[in-house]
Structure 1
Amino acid sequence: MNNRESNASKEVQAVYEQLLEAWNNQDARGMSDLFTEDGESIGFDGSQSIGREEIFSHLNPIFEHHQTAQFVSKVKSVKFFNSDIALLRAIAGMVPPQSNDINPQVNTHHTLILVKKEETWRIQLFQNTPAQFHGTPELVEQMTEELRAVLRSSK
């Protein structure tokens, strides 16, 4: 990876970190503003929101009526299709309210496609896919332990 790609990778990862920070702070506007105008979010439950305002309208009632779990994540890769399009893959777990440990039942894969417009990276697609690994519980445990290591190092 050359210096330009390294800097771009850091910029892309920073957008992802902002997305999770906004979720963890229950900031629907902060999350939705990270998307392109016609960006798309596919939630853990399969819900689909298209467009910055629809994403906000979907998230805002969730945050207003529920204390959501906190995301803990680890970026697994950033791939560039060209200088203005990137794919970020990460694993994530959630720490429920009043807990200090990850709930393995809601581990997830995060996939983001980001585009750079006017020198700013924005999310075109965010997909939150359950990582249940049906029939292979050892993979759930492996992912959970990897995320617990991130959680421990952040304290």
Structure 2
Amino acid sequence: MTDRTKDEALIREVVARAAQAWDDNDATAYAAEFTEDSDYVAFDGTLLRGREANRDLHAGLFDGVLYGTRMDGAIESIRFLTDDAAVIHGTGSVVFAWQREVPKGRRSRNTWVLVRTADGWQVAAFHNTRVRPVPGEGSVVRLFGNYVRWRTERARAKK
């Protein structure tokens, strides 16, 4: 089994630098952690292609609605796909300057794909999504489930 201790530490440094760049509202430093051709999916589904698109979007956000924000999150797991590629699952939510903690409705989970490049580990892909668990029980869930069943059966009967 390969000892991944050094690579894991280097990957954690990439994520820490990205978080610090966010806290500094520095779009250039944030985007520098990504490969030139990186893919970035924001919490709202926006897809960015490339480091410059990432930098441009975040520069506008840091100058506007994300001004003064900080990142609150943690790495949950690091899994190496190869010696030169790893997947990270973590949390990462925006906290406004007047907030002490992340409001429940703003919790996010993210997936990072990092690759080893000539310049060290960099983020090749990032996907962020809000944590919105689907309720699994209760009268409203049962009622909606019955409605879905009824509509599905009607649609199948028309075919």
TM range (shorter): 0.7 to 0.9
In structure 2, the partner of 1:147 is none
In structure 2, the partner of 1:51 is 50
Q: Does 2:18 correspond to 1:13?
A: no
Q: How does 1:6-155 map to 2 (within 5 A)?
A: 6-66=5-65, 67-118=67-118, 120-135=120-135
Structure whose CA Rg is larger: 2
Q: CA distance change for structure 1 residues 30 and 128 in 2, over 3 Å: closer, same or farther?
A: same
For the residues of structure 2 that align with 1:126 and 1:68, how far apart are their CA atoms?
22
Judge conservation of contact 1:93–1:104 (CA < 8 Å) in 2. Answer: no
Aligned length: 135
Unaligned runs of 5+ in 2: 137-159
For the residues of structure 2 that align with 1:86 and 1:79, how far apart are their CA atoms?
5
Judge conservation of contact 1:96–1:103 (CA < 8 Å) in 2. Answer: no
For the residues of structure 2 that align with 1:91 and 1:55, how far apart are their CA atoms?
19
Partner letter of residue 12 of structure 2?
Answer: Q
**1:33-86 superposed Cα distances (whole Å, 9 cap, x missing partner):** 111110011111111111111111111111112325322112111010111101
Judge conservation of contact 1:73–1:91 (CA < 8 Å) in 2. Answer: yes
Q: TM-score, normalised by structure 2?
A: 0.78
Q: TM-score, normalised by structure 1?
A: 0.80
For the residues of structure 2 that align with 1:92 and 1:54, how far apart are their CA atoms?
20
**1:91-132 superposed Cα distances (whole Å, 9 cap, x missing partner):** 233322212122111111111000001150010001111111
Stretch of structure 1 that moved more, 93-102 or 73-82 = 93-102
Judge conservation of contact 2:25–2:69 (CA < 8 Å) in 1. Answer: no
For the residues of structure 2 that align with 1:125 and 1:119, how far apart are their CA atoms?
16
Q: Percent same amino acid among aligned pairs?
A: 21
RMSD: 1.6
For the residues of structure 2 that align with 1:123 and 1:88, how far apart are their CA atoms?
10
Partner letter of residue 90 of structure 1?
Answer: G
Q: CA distance change for structure 1 residues 44 and 131 in 2, over 3 Å: closer, same or farther?
A: same
For the residues of structure 2 that align with 1:93 and 1:58, how far apart are their CA atoms?
17
Partner letter of residue 104 of structure 1?
Answer: K
